[in-house]
Amino acid sequence: MKQIVIQFGLLALALMILLQLSKYSLFLRGFSNEWSVTLFAILFLAFGYFASRAISKPKIEFKEAPIEIDKKRISDLGISSREYEVLQLISSGMSNQEIAQKLFISESTVKTHVSNLLMKLDAKRRTQAVTNAKSLNIL
């Protein structure tokens, strides 16, 4: 942020200097307004280039630390490995039909697994089941 403020300050300074030079160039025969406008354009071009590079720098994204899955709690809740697979796919936002296609099972089987998960995780909806699973550190 400081760098951008400094760049804008330098640009404003360059603008003031060029305006002063253009005022005096009217009295000087060897220095024309065309040169001051050209210099001004080059400075703006350079500033635009550097400002765009500063703005478009890739931002660092912080990822959450991986949570260690509590496998003992999964077995204590009585969640089978297939139900756990269904739970993972629910958490990724898949529908029953998409889960059935991915796991090569029928949609009614997925509904049975979802029903069992809702009961075991004490949830009324799929989203609540995912929230409960995350709070139990099993997702």
Confidence of residue 25 (pLDDT cuts 50, 70, 90): low
Q: Please give the structure tokens belonging to residue 77.
A: 């809740």
131 and 75 part of one domain = yes
Is it the case that residue 104 has pLDDT exceeding 90? yes
Residues 4, 33, 16, 41, Cα dihedral to 10°: 0
The verdict on residue 86 lying in a domain is yes
Share of the chain above pLDDT 70, in %: 73
Query: Tens digits of per-residue pLDDT, 44-65?
Result: 777 777 777 766 666 667 666 6
Range of the domain at 6: 2-55
pLDDT computed for residue 45 by the predictor = 75
Cα separation, 100 vs 28, in Å, equals 83
The verdict on residue 65 lying in a domain is no
78 and 131 part of one domain = yes
45 and 79 part of one domain = no
Q: What is the pTM of this model?
A: 0.55
Least Cα distance to 109 among 90, 86, 134 occurs for 86
Confidence of residue 68 (pLDDT cuts 50, 70, 90): confident
Cα separation, 139 vs 120, in Å, equals 14
Residue the block writes with tokens 């760049």: 7
pLDDT computed for residue 65 by the predictor = 66
